[in-house]
Amino acid sequence: MTLPQNPIVDAAALATVLASAEPPTVLDVRWRLAGPPGREDYAAGHLPGAAFIDLDADLCGAPGRGGRHPLPDPADLERALRAAGVRDGHPVVVYDGGDGLAAARAWWTLRWAGHRAVRVLDGGYPAWVAAGQPVTADVPDTKPGDITVRPGGLPVLDATAAGRLATEGVLIDVRAAPRYRGETEPIDPVAGHIPGAVNLPSTEHVEADGRLRAAAALESRFAEAGVAEGVRVGVYCGSGVTAAHTVLALHLAGRTDAALYVGSWSEWITDPDRPVA
């Protein structure tokens, strides 16, 4: 079974490989920041054979000084992925409710955990349904996987490294412009941004239907933000979910070295000595 050698896959290509003798493991990671839990959506209908995995409970650690969506404990992550049927070396496809955010964080987490063969269904569940592909409410009898989590598969920034990168490279803040400017902050207790960071809202990386823009268009937009060959690049948002989507977009544009500040703004502001612009 093969998938396109890029981080995304469309509904037609996924349908083809799902019908093969060795289909990929499919993970439903539908999620909303303010709820309700995505498991309710999964129960109502999902891709055939897909297992549900919870972004908050399975793919992230407990919120606290590390931010609202910190890195998971590797052992906990390994148990959750094995329960969902993830196997070492076997392809995985992740999808969400269409905006790509949760799926991108799942993609990033699996890649960080050392699993390379991971793709995101571009456009998520709505794209699958719009393509006339089948859905089911049946919960599959998932065979436990054997993945071994090996942290370090993708680069990570801590607060110190993120602050340094903002002056020595390009640190992209992908939140909406009013949040970046500190005019409003609907979630975290402090408004503003990391000094030196540039604002490039994640909404600029997608088409109206939630699909990622073409690689050439993404490359051009990132170049306008200062992302150039030889310049190190990192990304942050409120809690490392939306930023993971921009890391996915950077991979599509050829920057597979882009680093994620997982703790993001929600961790940055836990230390009052850290500067705020």
How many angstroms separate the first and last alpha carbons of the chain?
49
Tell me if residue 60 is catalytic: no
Let me know: does 234 contact 162? Beta carbons within 8 Å: yes
* Residue from 18, 174, 227, 237 carrying the catalytic annotation: 237
Q: Which residues are catalytic?
A: 237
